[in-house]
Structure 1
Amino acid sequence: MPCGVAEPRSRGGHGPAGRGSGRRNMATYVEIIRHEFPDIDLELFQYVTGVLDSSAADFESVDEIFEAIGDVLQEVSVSKNEDDVREICEKMFNTLKLNTSNSSKSNVLLKAPIQLSQVTGSTDYKTEEVKGIWMMRRDLGTTVDAKKLEKAEAKLKAKQEKRTEKTSLKPAVPLVLEEASASQASNKKETRLEASGKNKSYDIKIENFDVSYGDRALLNGADLHLAYGRRYGLVGRNGLGKTTLLKMMSARGLRIPSHISILHVEQEVVGDDTLALQSVLECDTVRESLVCEERELTAKMNIGLGNGTESGRLTEIYAKLEEIEADKAPARASVVLAGLGFSSKMQKQMTREFSGGWRMRLALARALFAKPDLLLLDEPTNMLDVRAILWLENYLQTWQSTILVVSHDRNFLNAVATDIVYLHSQRLETYRGDYENFIKTKEERLKNQQREYEAQHQYREHIQVFIDRFRYNANRASQVQSKLKLLEKLPELKPLEKEPEVTIRFPDNFEKLSPPILQMTEVDFNYNPESPIFKDLSVSADQDSRICIVGENGAGKTTLLKILLGDLAPVQGIRHAHRYNLFGYFSQLHIPFLRLNICAVLIFFHYGFSGRTEEEYRHQLGGYGISGDLAVRPVASLSGGQKSRVAFAQMTMPRPNFYILDEPTNHLDMETIEALGISLQKFKGGVILVSHDERLIRMVCRELWVCGCGTVKRVDGGFDEYKDILQEQFRREGFL
């Protein structure tokens, strides 16, 4: 495997104890947490202490503390049950109440004067007042169940929202999530064929069906034909229903023959004590059933309880295991895991030890190993680095059954797809070939439709002129009637409905700053001294920099961004940033921090942009495609790409002059990625981004930094050279 340094998880004894004005009162409950949970992650430690610190005065009972952080703490230690954690919460509640009482009777004396310019990074910008997603960052290093963490965050936010609702532009919209539904016209012939069991075809024909999300129609009278063995890319704008369609198919809300197995990679693997390799092997239910039965029968035979029947059955099992090449299954599973970035050591780890991103990779590995008749993939490249994407492209090119994949990565679709299914105007159109061929064919088809419409429109006008001219001429009455009948018989062609153009604005009306803008000199960093992340690292960026950081997952890319931002301090060395530099940060984990039960317009009010008019908020959102009804719908009802656009609108509101973007293309459609690239090309400030999207990298970046092996190396040949390096690694490792 290529060299890559994993980002180790620090323990509670390292790093800051928390945030906020109550820091001086934290010692007692910090000691309780460290004593009771010695193996707590640094990221989780900061989260829990931050909750206790910032909301000390709000907790009115032990139950409220347990609701806020109990689930998260239970995840940290398998040796503590709910009662144990509740008892620990009671100790902390008593400490909080004592400290709150004491602090209310005394004033805090600062040990030293505070330089506000150092806090904000600039005397011109009040960045600490901006509570957008770029000021709320979380690393990927935690092993805690992401769903439980989000649940704890949601409970805390619910309490805070009660205080802010009174000052809102309007009351918060109650969160009532709509449900998707599908309906399909019945086909008696197919129903009889299915009931008789004579349907042996693996082609899929779903005809005349509708899909809705709440009251909104997503597809109306649509048809979808999938030929067995072909690989289909499903494309279309954000919010039109691509993900919903996959869910309806996987749940068999649409009629698919029962003998066709379907696997939808949607949710991450549940973490437990199962080893990663075994988790993949268990997907082959036939093999697992035979192996378990063979084990039980062999045990009986060994203790003398077997008879001729058991002996005969064992012979049958051995024959079937040999027929399906069961002995080769572990090697096949290992190859799939290795291709997706799991080292030999990681393959022997328990699934509960992996973060959510790695458990999603594990879910993908299980699907690839299981080889269903219909594989449904929704943005599979979101969780992968460039190396894993290249491996997946090569692997899927030899896939024998049917694939339907939603992807925003045009290079991935060009490498994998044999056909493109285009969702627009509540219908589906299928095009032969890869994505580039689809673009050319679609443009040509649209031109032909436009020419046909214009020609017919001109012909209609010509006939109408004749009718109007001789309508009251008795000698021409028969001719007029003939022309009228001709008009009635002409098929009514409608003008083309052009999709609205996507625009993204990165305001750049700021002064040019003299270099150095951002610089790190001989920087060392680690969470644990025994496992350095970076050693003797020196990099720099100016206001005209366009830098892309690539590398395997776990190589330290997100950590590097946090050091550049100033969120993490070097263990050794110097990090320098211009005093007037204002960062805009887009985190790949931005969605959990958006308030899902309020509309996009209110997001701005709640996150520190109060004092402006609703028209200003709408104008800002409109620049990112969130306009009209979208701006006032609960954020939870928006698609992943639309949520990302809301986050972009937030990030750009204070007009930063340097953007640091961590996987900004996740969930965005092709058109938005294109608009993002064009906007970054025009932007006059600095840009550093972590991305796996080849199209965006080629459009924007002039420098490529490869992160790994404890350092960052600049690749002079750019992305082409980096791909060549990875392909050579595949050959050495036997993947090609």
Structure 2
Amino acid sequence: MSLLNIRSLGVTLSSRLFSDLNLTVNAGDRIGLVAANGRGKSTLLRCIASQLEPTDGVITKSRGLTIGYVEQNVPQALLDHTFYDAVLAALPAEQQSSESWRVDVALESLDVPEAMRQRTLSQLSGGWQRLAMLARIWVTEPDMLLLDEPTNHLDLARIGQLEQWLNALPRDLPVIISSHDRAFLDATTNRTLFLRPERSQMFPLPYSRARVALDEGDASDGRRYQRDMKAAQQLRQQAAKLNNIGVNSGSDLLVVKTKQLKQRADRLEGATRPAHLERSAGAIRLANRGTHAKVLVTLEDAAVTTPDGTLLFRTGRQFICQGDRIVLLGANGAGKTRLVAMLRRAIGKADVSQDGIKATPSLVLGYGDQALADLSEGETPMHSIVHRFDVGDLRARSLLAGAGLSVEMQARPIGQLSGGQKARLGMLFLRLAEPNFYLLDEPTNHLDIDGQEALESELLDHKASCLLVSHDRSFVRAVGNRFWLIDRKTLVELDGPEAFFAAMGGAGAP
């Protein structure tokens, strides 16, 4: 049963985001919406939710259809509300006293603890704020759900819980999910829309299988495009020869033939470039300075503690060796970020043992954290790169442009950039530091799927040595070759991450 029809939809803001988009949403559809950062996913959801008028095309909805749109950010006006009151306020005023039980039902379905319900949203983590926004929509009992990056700020356990919640919804309830979490999309969707400036493509498959089909189509388009460009070049060469002959002989017929050849070349060159050759959100490249040391870091039963000295776990005797890509696993609060901080201190002072951790003196650290705290919000990208690294203005502009930052963005304060732009800038800083060991705490948090895959390729291609913390199951599976688990106050090595993912309730697709 068709609930919503999109015909010839297009949106152009500062540039064209998408055009000539056709989509039918039926009962039971679970659609994954995939595109690079800033390429129209949120814009399309806002159009469907009637919050934004498209530039072209129409959206028709079945009579009485109610749409629940879960946005990425918490409205400022709600930050002083408690979790419970923020959800209650989503009900019409006349229902709030008589039907407040709906709030309890919604919060129970999302496993929100009683203690959490009376805390203000401003006091909560980003993950709990995301669940509050979801509960606000769900309490209104919509006929269709739109979820914009629902896994942002959620830990692995909460992502698994959200997957289970979505998969337990009524089967006829359609859901459209914009997400960069590949494993989450595989676990929760049955159709995938790749949104592009031209020729967006829909596949009746979850993300990973749809991506294979998309890549096959892109490869075919790429081969056709190269053939057309070669043919156009040959036509122009023929036209040039005929033009010379025609001019010298005074033949009008040859002049007309020359014009026809040029027109055929123009038509071939004017054809739409393959969608996968559209400008990317910016390249990600890393470096590996290399080191002759085989053992990079030695952990001598280091004690990882809270700031007040409470023991979280002990590492035992462990070694980080050249070529290791170690994924640190553990529940939230187990001490992953604390160990990363200890490693960072030890590498910064490699001449002495720090807290039971000894780093080889030849280590050059590349560090990136999930908060992108190494970026100065008030500085411009241009100022930061010129003053931090030995590069001139022209080289700096070229590097920033390669990372997806236009000349205009290069002059803005970093605080005004999007999360994806900041992440790519942070990756550029990592590259210019020329490290031989990476410490990465949630490096994919702000990256789109293209960025995640580029980061994976760079770490693998450069045989980078690293220790990383990540809730991104696809990233962990692709990159890790060793896996450490914080389990009952000890650090143990696993053969792989799957048992941990399953225990967290977020196994996703293998």
Select which of 356, 369, 372 maps to 1:590. 372
Match of 2:285 among 484, 505, 508: 505
Encode CA deviations 1:329-374: one digit per residue, 9 max, x unaligned: 63552231x3xxx555445655454234432333234444544334
2:382 — aligned with what? 601
* Mapping 1:39-438, distance limit 5 Å: 202-205=3-6, 207-212=8-13, 216-219=14-17, 221-229=19-27, 230-247=29-46, 249-250=48-49, 252-254=51-53, 259-268=65-74, 270-272=78-80, 274=82, 276=83, 278-279=84-85, 282=88, 285=91, 289-290=94-95, 292-293=97-98, 330-336=104-110, 338=111, 342-343=112-113, 345-347=115-117, 349-399=119-169, 400-425=172-197, 428-438=200-210
- Letter aligned with residue 21 of structure 2: D
Amino acid in the other structure paired with 1:512: H
**C-alpha distance in 2, partners of 1:658/1:505?**
15
Q: Cα offset for 1:661?
A: 0.8
Cα distance in 2 for partners of 1:459, 1:505 equals 34
Residue matched to 1:521: 301
Residue type at the aligned position of 1:243: S
Partner-residue secondary structure (3-state), 1:527: coil
Is the contact between residue 37 and residue 448 of structure 2 (CA under 8 Å) also seen in structure 1?
Answer: yes
The separation in 2 between residues aligned to 1:655 and 1:456, in whole angstroms, is 38
For 2:401 and 2:120, locate their aligned partners in 1 and report how far apart those are by CA, in whole Å.
46
**Contact 2:385/2:391 (<8 A) preserved:** no
Structure 1 CA distance, aligned partners of 2:467 and 2:220?
42
Selected match of 2:485 from 695, 706, 711: 706
Distance 1:542 1:347, change over 3 A: farther
**1:388, distance to aligned residue in structure 2 (A):** 2.1
C-alpha displacement of 1:384: 1.5
TM-score, normalized by length of structure 2? 0.76
User: What amino acid maps onto 1:234 in structure 2?
Assistant: L
Quote the Cα distance in structure 1 between the aligned partners of 2:50 and 2:488.
44
Q: Offset at 1:405? A: 2.2
CA contact (8 A) 1:588 1:663 kept: yes
Please give the TM-score of this superposition, normalised by the length of structure 1. 0.55
Distance of aligned partners of 1:592 and 1:206 in 2 relative to their CA distance in 1, 3 Å threshold: farther
* Structure 2 residue matching 1:292: 3-state secondary structure: coil
Query: How far off its partner does 1:510 sit?
Result: 3.8
Residue 211 of structure 1 contacts residue 245 of structure 1 at CA under 8 Å; is this kept in 2?
A: no
Correspondences of 1:445-456 after superposition (within 5 Å): 445-449=217-221, 454=227
Asked whether the equivalents of residues 420 and 431 of structure 1 are also in contact (C-alpha less than 8 Å), the reply is yes
C-alpha distance after superposition, 1:676-705 (max 9, x if no partner) = 111112345531111111221112111222
Where do 5+ consecutive residues of structure 1 fail to align?
A: 1-199, 294-320, 731-736
Residue deviations 1:133-187 (CA, integer Å, cap 9, x gap) = xxxxxxxxxxxxxxxxxxxxxxxxxxxxxxxxxxxxxxxxxxxxxxxxxxxxxxx
C-alpha distance in 2, partners of 1:384/1:403? Answer: 19
- RMSD of aligned Cα (Å): 4.5
1:581 aligned to 2:363? yes
Distance 2:396 2:233 in 1: 46
Query: Aligned letter for 2:503?
Result: I
Letter matched to residue 667 of structure 1: H
Q: 1:422 to 1:678 in 2, by over 3 A?
A: same
1:629 to 1:705, Cα distance in 2 relative to 1, 3 A:
same
Query: Structure 2: 5+ residue runs without aligned partners?
Result: none
Contact 1:234–1:242 (CA under 8 A) maintained in structure 2: yes
Instruction: Please tell me whether Structure 1 or Structure 2 has the larger radius of gyration of its CA atoms.
Output: 1
Please point out which of 299, 307, 320 is paired with 1:541: 320
Maintained 8 Å contact 2:325/2:481? yes
Q: Counterpart amino acid of 1:576?
A: K
Offset of residue 574 of structure 1: 2.5
Contact 1:385 1:553 in 2 (8 A): yes
Larger strand percent:
2
Give the drift of 1:635: 4.1
Helix, strand or coil at the partner of 2:295: coil
Structure 1 counterpart of 2:498, from 703, 711, 720: 720
Point out 4+ residue stretches in structure 1 off by more than 6 angstroms: 455-462
Q: Is the 8 A contact 1:263 1:372 kept in 2?
A: no
